[in-house]
Structures are given as structure tokens and as C-alpha cells.
């Protein structure tokens, strides 16, 4: 019983800090209008930015993929699990990102988390190598750096000069700079052009995790590299396929030699069962949409919702980072207040998650609003009105009065 008591103490400590996380259970596809725990909700929390997760063409392709290839892959890629669907998807992704890379090749992974572990452990396998990790990087990059044999140094958020000083002082034979392109809890873009210029000057790799940019950023949805007009052999691009692409998995696109190294050396690629081929087949349908006119229209709708939320929100106390992406956080500060705001919204049928430490720094608990192409003007206006009202209703003096 001592073992259980130890766990209970840990859970109690989380609860005492308003840090207990709880899952809600969706009874319908990810979409703005969702049934959650049996109740209709207007959701502002999914990363299905283009509304493809329930798109009829994608769902039909998933069904077709299951007919063609069965439900599962049956083995890891290097044994017998690599299907024609995986191969076609990789060719398609390599061609999609080719304008930004040199001699591009792509590799499909089960998840973005695993792709990030793979890139950093394979590129950073030498104990003499050095990984330069941006302070606000996603947990999967942090864990990849921890798992790599290379040394790790963290540079301050967005601080290109600090990174340059570190690169200039480095004596490592291999230097790897790694950053999110869109910071997942702020929605802010990384200064990729300046980072790439440094990486080229110092002969370093630049690993870009474009989880929140792929499909959304750039005129053709190629992501952050297209948005900034970048092209370089130093780039290693990671795109996830469970967010804007609406299905699941992720890919690395880079110079063919980097991808070959992953296939030979990356343990998160080699030692896991290949993702169901039907997912890869469905992703080909997602790419058709992302690349085509419909994708362009959906990106335009998303941009309109982002602009509308910005103009409708009239907040004085709660801060907002200057985000121009689909991720629109509202900084509340205290964990319990963030939870309270989320609960009030929930009571009105609005689903916006409260994000607390350790996902964000202590004292910066926030609501993380994510917008998607299928939100209507009325949806966005309803959310903004609810937030404007709640900010006043939950002002400290008001809360004291409520507590009295």
C-alpha cells in the first residue's frame, strides 16, 4: 500500500496546484460542432486547422485504403510493414517540399513525437555533437535532445544573437539547431530566415518542426519554409500529418542522405510497427486538397477567422501574444483562474482548453484558442463576446465579492 500512497501523494500535489488534467470524451469527429461527453459543443481546441479530419474525400480514402491494404501494416517498415501506400506518400511529400530542400527525400513516421525523437537521436548520435535547442521547443524536441548522445544547450526564446554566440564558440564536429516553426502554445513564428543564415554560416543543421505550419502556412500550404521562401541543404523539415492534414503521423523531408541515415539508424523509425497503410492512403487525399484550390480557399477562410477574432476581442487584463496563426492564446496567469475561465466557457457550450504548467511556464496559464477553416463568422464572434464578458465578470474584485 506504500506504493499506492506514494502515487496518491503525487496526484494530490497536482490537484493542490490546480494542475490535474482531465480528458473529455468526444462522441463525434473533430469539428467546430462536436458532441462531447454526450453534449453539443462549439470547439476551439483541435489542430484540424483545415477541417480535413472529417472531410468526405479523406474519410472515403481511408475506407478505400483499408479495403486495399487491410487494417494494419503487420510489421515494422524494415521487416515487411512498408506498403505501396507508404511509398507513394513519401514520394508525394518529397515532391511537395522539394522547392525548399536540395535532393529532397521524405520518410513517414507514426507520429510527430517519434519523428522528432528520430531526427535528433540520429543526427545527434555522436557524443561530440552539439544540439542547440530553442527555449520554447515542443516536448518531443526536448525529449529527442535528451535521448540523443550529443550535448545539449538551450538558447533563449527567439534570441538569434545568443544562438550566434553559442555557435561561434562551439568546437563540436556537428552542430544541430532545432526549433518549432510556430510555437505551439504562443502561435508565434520562429525567426527562421535568421536562423538559417546562421546555420549556413556556421555549417550547422537547422531542424524545423513545422507541426503547426504544414498545410496552413505558405500560398500552397507547403508550410513555414514556403512562408519564408527558404531553400537550403542544411534544412531538415519535420511536418506532422495529424493536424492540418487531418489524419495522423508525420514526416521528415531533407537531403536524401539524411533520410537514408534515418532508415539505417533512427530507432523510433526502425523499432516500431509501421502505421496502418490506410492512413498513408488517406493522406494522399488530404494532400490533393491541401495542394488544390480547395486548400487555398480553406487557408483564406482560416485567415479571415484569425483576423476577425483579433478585431472582436477587447481584452484589458488578459494579455495576448502577437500571434497571426491559428493558435490564439489568451494569457490568464494563475492556474485556477485559467481553469475557471475554461469552465465558464464550457458552461456556455464553448470548448477552449486551459493550458497549465508544465506545458507552459509557471504563472503563464492560458486559454489556447485554436481556429480552423470550418469556424463561421458567428462562431468566432460568439467566442470573442463570451471572453470579453468573462474578463470583466472574473475581475479580482468581482471574484472577492463572489467568495464573500
The binding site comprises 21, 112-113, 138, 184, 212, 240, 359
Residue 250 binds ligand PMP, judged by CB under 6 A = yes
Max CA separation in the chain (angstroms)? 67
Residue 275 binds ligand PMP, judged by CB under 6 A = no
Q: Which is nearer to ligand PMP, 148 or 384 (CB)?
A: 148
Q: Which is nearer to ligand PMP, 250 or 342 (CB)?
A: 250
Please count the CA atoms within 13 angstroms of the CA of 380 that sit on its side-chain side.
23
Q: Which is nearer to ligand PMP, 59 or 142 (CB)?
A: 142
16 three-class SS: helix
Please give the helix or strand (H or E) that residue 192 lies within, else none: helix 192-202
Q: What angle is formed at CA 269 by the lines to CA 265 and CA 274, rounded to 5 degrees?
A: 145
Stretch of residues binding ligand PMP (CB under 6 A), selected from 74-82, 95-103, 112-120, 253-261: 112-120
Stretch of residues binding ligand PMP (CB under 6 A), selected from 105-113, 186-194, 347-355, 396-404: 105-113
Residue of 97, 134, 180, 186 interacting with ligand PMP (CB under 6 A): 180
- The dihedral over CA atoms of 31, 21, 37, 282, expressed in degrees to the nearest 10, equals 40
DSSP string, 194-232: HHHHHHHHHT-EEEEE-TTTTTTSSTTS--HHHHHT---
Residue 48 binds ligand PMP, judged by CB under 6 A = no
Q: Which is nearer to ligand PMP, 321 or 349 (CB)?
A: 321
Closest CA to 45 of 365, 327, 313: 327
327 three-class SS: strand
Residue 124 and residue 223: Cα distance in Å, rounded? 25
Residue of 65, 221, 242, 246 interacting with ligand PMP (CB under 6 A): 242
At its nearest, how many Å lie between ligand PMP and the CB of residue 144?
A: 10
At its nearest, how many Å lie between ligand PMP and the CB of residue 392?
A: 32
At its nearest, how many Å lie between ligand PMP and the CB of residue 184?
A: 4
Mask 198-237, x = binds ligand PMP (CB under 6 A)? Answer: -----------x-x--------------------------
Q: How many CB atoms lie within 10 A of CB 233?
A: 15
What are the distances in angstroms from CA 382 to CA 309, 327, 363?
10, 17, 27
Residue of 46, 73, 140, 305 interacting with ligand PMP (CB under 6 A): 140
At its nearest, how many Å lie between ligand PMP and the CB of residue 181?
A: 8
Residues that bind ligand PMP (CB under 6 A): 111-113, 116, 138, 140, 180, 184, 209, 211, 240, 242, 250
Amino acid at each position: 500500500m506504500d506504493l499506492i500512497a506514494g502515487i496518491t501523494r503525487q496526484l494530490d500535489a497536482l490537484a493542490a496546484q490546480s494542475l490535474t488534467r482531465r480528458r473529455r470524451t468526444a462522441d463525434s469527429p473533430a469539428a467546430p460542432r462536436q458532441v462531447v461527453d454526450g453534449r453539443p459543443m462549439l470547439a476551439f481546441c483541435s489542430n484540424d486547422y483545415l477541417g480535413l479530419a472529417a472531410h468526405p474525400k479523406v474519410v472515403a480514402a481511408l475506407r478505400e485504403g483499408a479495403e486495399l491494404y487491410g487494417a494494419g501494416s503487420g510489421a515494422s517498415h524494415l521487416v515487411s510493414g512498408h506498403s505501396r501506400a507508404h511509398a507513394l506518400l513519401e514520394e508525394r511529400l518529397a515532391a511537395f517540399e522539394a522547392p525548399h530542400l536540395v535532393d529532397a527525400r521524405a520518410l513517414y513516421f507514426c507520429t510527430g513525437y517519434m519523428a522528432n525523437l528520430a531526427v535528433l537521436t540520429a543526427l545527434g548520435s555522436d557524443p561530440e555533437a552539439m544540439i542547440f535547442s530553442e527555449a520554447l521547443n515542443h516536448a518531443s524536441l526536448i525529449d529527442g535532445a535528451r535521448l540523443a548522445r550529443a550535448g545539449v544547450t538551450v538558447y533563449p526564446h527567439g534570441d538569434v544573437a545568443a544562438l550566434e554566440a553559442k555557435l561561434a564558440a562551439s568546437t563540436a564536429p556537428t552542430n544541430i539547431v532545432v526549433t518549432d516553426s510556430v510555437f505551439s502554445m504562443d502561435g508565434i513564428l520562429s525567426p527562421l530566415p535568421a536562423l538559417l543564415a546562421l546555420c549556413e554560416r556556421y555549417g550547422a543543421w537547422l531542424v524545423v518542426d513545422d507541426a503547426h505550419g504544414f498545410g496552413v502556412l505558405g500560398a500552397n500550404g507547403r508550410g513555414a519554409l514556403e512562408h519564408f521562401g527558404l531553400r537550403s541543404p542544411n534544412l531538415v523539415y519535420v511536418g506532422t500529418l495529424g493536424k492540418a492534414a487531418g489524419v495522423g503521423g508525420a514526416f521528415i523531408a531533407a537531403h536524401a542522405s539524411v533520410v537514408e541515415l534515418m532508415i539505417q539508424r533512427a530507432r523510433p523509425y526502425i523499432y516500431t510497427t509501421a502505421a496502418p497503410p490506410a492512413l498513408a492512403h488517406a493522406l494522399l487525399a488530404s494532400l490533393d486538397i491541401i495542394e488544390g484550390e480547395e486548400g487555398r480557399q480553406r487557408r483564406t477562410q482560416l485567415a479571415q477567422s484569425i483576423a476577425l477574432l483579433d478585431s472582436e476581442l477587447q481584452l484589458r487584463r488578459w494579455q495576448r501574444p502577437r500571434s497571426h496563426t491559428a493558435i490564439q492564446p489568451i494569457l490568464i496567469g494563475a492556474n485556477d483562474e485559467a481553469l475557471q475561465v475554461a469552465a465558464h466557457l464550457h458552461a456556455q457550450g464553448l470548448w477552449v482548453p486551459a493550458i497549465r504548467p508544465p506545458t507552459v511556464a509557471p504563472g503563464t496559464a492560458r486559454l489556447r484558442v485554436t481556429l480552423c477553416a470550418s469556424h463561421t463568422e458567428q462562431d468566432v464572434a460568439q467566442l470573442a463576446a463570451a471572453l470579453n464578458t468573462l474578463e470583466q465578470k472574473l475581475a479580482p474584485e468581482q471574484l472577492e465579492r463572489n467568495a464573500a
